[in-house]
Chains A and B, each alone.
Chain A
Amino acid sequence: MATGGCAVRNVRLLCLAHFWVAFGAFLVASVLGAWQMWVRSPLGAHTGTPGQYFMSVTAHGVAMAYVLTTFFIMGFGYFVAVTALNRPLPGQWLAWAGFGASIIGVLMVLVTVLGGNASVLFTFYPPLTASPWFYIGLVLVVAASWVWCVLMIIAMTTWKRANPGQPVPLAMFATVANAVMWLWTTVGVAIELLFQVIPAAFGLVQTIDVGLARTLFSWTLHAIVYFWLIPAYIAFYTMAPRAAGGRLYSDTMGRLTFILFLIYSLPVGMHHLLMDPEHGNGTKFIQVLLTAFVSVPTLLTIFTITASFEIAGRLRGGRGLFGWIATLPWDRPMVLATGLAFLMLGLGGFGGLINMGYGMNAMIHNTSWVTAHFHLIFGGSVVIMYFAIAYEIWPRLTGREHASLVPLRVQLWLWFIGMMVMTLPWHWLGLQGQWRRVANFNYADPIIAAWGPLVIVSLGGGLTLLVSAVLFVRNLWALHRSAVPLRSQRLYALAVHPPRHVPAALNGFALWNVLVLVLMLAAYGYPIAQFVIYPSPAAMVHRVEPAMR
């Protein structure tokens, strides 16, 4: 059965538990985000203290970047594993154990952040260190996500053993690509936390090698964004073409895309350290060159999904060069979200190319441009696809259908408009030099005063996003009470030419893991080894203590 109906019941509670934690954190973080926009604007200047601001930014960042993403991705992975493979999930008790561990981790993070013991933002840049329990909480979440990775890999390999020679369904192939990438990705931050930051936070050591810590974090820092992004791409390839009423233009293109993400998202993190002194220009160059190749899977995707949509549009009677666009069913949330995500991905991707260039990055480094960029590309194109995925699969989890699609469309449009209104002025302010990671601006200064109107426009976008976030949670909540029963229909798109036999390279990850290893050695081998060969001057650990009793 295409929807994997029996199997869904197997993981229904597991998926809903993960999703509700993710979206609960999302709702709280949205409120904090809107408050931060208010405090930074001339309207709310001097509301609250810097200590409260940084505590809020930490909570917002951790909730959005670690809780929303990790829980959503794990829940989505379990859903894909049973629906795409149409088999029960192996080791479900382990999945629940991982869920329990990650809840304990989140609670530890919550207590330390609210206690003011962890106002270090969501990045791990020593010598500033938070309470060790903050880091241990996050390590628990990561360890739980490793359990998820192992379960995803086991689900795929047991399916392959039962179906020799058969191509793994694309949705599952992509999910496992993400799991494999995540295992590689988290090694960097795990080494940083376990061997550098946590001993320092406990007071076991008084000094820390900041260059090494930043390098290890850069290993994780860029690939983690692709970990968050891949569910959106899974929806582009496997759900959007079906929702549009067509077929996927090319299954092979999909497989290639996820493989390219796996190999090129890892050896590129040093483009976050272009302004750092601890690495040579040549090693930075190599990683920037590799970064350029990360744009390839995105370009492949834009081509393939546009072609798939064109097929759907023409099947619905669209004619001419662009006539097919108008005939697409834009009233369906998945189709609408895909269109809006592409618009945001286009603008955000263009901004990303600027961040990637050594010279252009120098102009926008540490300005609001960067904050605007990652809000547009992650908060915009990725999170809007999380919404679309939730709207698509929630009926299958609850057995109920949305009573009306109108509030869903309104919510998606509000998110798109809010994100554009918030981030476009924010980019512009960054170009004018507005710095990031500060608690307030002095609008008495004539130069900064001129930023005021744009910051207020941006605040308007932030408030729109908050309205959209509340509406999103309301829409899901309403679905639990909907009286309309589920209409059974296919979830995953068929390819124009469904794959019959695919080479082992496009059906597994052995070859690609070897190539990732080669690339990581070339990109990070010497840059990390140098810290052992020439120990750098140590920095004193600075521990965050509660700002207020």
Chain B
Amino acid sequence: MTEKSDPAVLDQPWRVWASVAVLSIVAAGIVLGILIIPIVQGQSASIDPFTAICRAIGILPGSPARPQITDRTPPTPVSQVVWTPEVLQILAEAHPERGKAKVQEVCISCHGENGVSVAPEFPHLAGQSGAAIYKQLNDYRTGSRTNETMTSIAKSLDESLTADVAAYFAAQPKRDPNPLALAEAPAAIIRLVELGDPSRRIPPCAACHRPGSGGPIETPILSEQQEKYLVAQLKMYASGERRNDVYGRMRAIASQLSESEIEGLAPYYRAGFK
């Protein structure tokens, strides 16, 4: 093989120059992106070069081109419940049998032994989401939600007992998650549930309240719920009397609903309960 066509000889300049080209591009990117641009941008935003470089790399938070916002006004949450991994762990490790003892001692008189309530103004809790019950009990305990009876009962529970009670009710027979299969409702109500009304900024109820549809974890299951209870809660949200909904979602929605829509939605979700 002649030297001219020897691949190793032909290859050498390729190896050298390809590496030089690629490394120069990387070096240019590093010098411009991590040194020069942040330092220059930092100067006009009164950020010292070291901080600007750290921000460009991502070691410090914020942009090298803007002062970091230092507003530290404490937020005032509508609920004290935060879904941290620790809280989820408490929920996951709750003991339904310990909860049952408490239920038979206290809850039974209104919500029934299995969570089937004894009067239309009390919600059914059977088969409700454990996270939903846990959040409401905690909100009663911390004052985010108030009710003459429930506030004092909730204050007597500690965190783990709250989770146990929630787990007990959650373990009761599941509800039918899809009331459509159960009830004939007016087309306007089904439309509200399935599509909402964007012109009034009302999202579909099913966007959160159909299990698995993407709502926050504390979203309660509404199907097979007491009609009178649902009407009362929607009206309390609409008036702002109840305000433990995160981001005011339910207040914003309920205040847009007409009286007849509230009266129509409640039986839709009430449907099918035996």
Residues of A within 8 A of B (CB): 46, 49-51, 128, 165, 206-207, 263, 278-286, 289-290, 293, 440-442, 444-445, 500-507, 511-512, 515, 518-519, 522, 526-527, 530, 538, 540, 542-549
Contact = CB atoms under 8 A, between A and B. Distances in A.
B5 A50 contact: no
Given A282-B53, A547-B210, 10 more contacts: A49-B206, A279-B58, A282-B30, A282-B58, A283-B58, A290-B26, A444-B198, A504-B8, A504-B10, A504-B11
Interface residues of B, number: 55
A444 B199 contact: yes
Interface stretch (B160-168, B212-220, B229-237): B212-220
Contact of A289 (B19, B32, B88, B89): B32
Interface of B: 1, 4-5, 7-8, 10-11, 13-15, 18-19, 22-23, 25-26, 28-30, 32-34, 37-38, 53, 55-59, 63-65, 83, 85, 88-89, 92, 177-178, 181, 191, 194-195, 198-199, 204, 206-207, 210-214, 217
Contact of A545 (B1, B34, B89, B211): B211
A543 B214 CA distance: 8
13 contacts: A50-B195, A279-B58, A281-B64, A282-B33, A282-B56, A282-B57, A285-B29, A444-B198, A444-B199, A505-B18, A540-B83, A544-B212, A548-B210
Nearest to B211: A545
B213 A547 contact: yes
Contacts of A546: 212
**Which DSSP category, helix, strand, loop or mixed, fits chain B's interface?**
helix
B33 A289 contact: yes
A253 to B, nearest CB: 15
B11 A505 contact: yes
A392 to B, nearest CB: 32
B39 to A, nearest CB: 11
Contacts of B88: 206-207, 540
A282 B56 CA distance: 4
B250 to A, nearest CB: 19
A518 B26 contact: yes
A501 B11 CA distance: 11
B15 A511 contact: yes
Contacts of B92: 206
Nearest to A512: B18
Contacts of A282: 30, 33-34, 37-38, 53, 56-58, 64
A522 B30 CA distance: 9
Contacts of B58: 278-280, 282-283, 526-527, 530
Contacts of B5: 165, 500-501
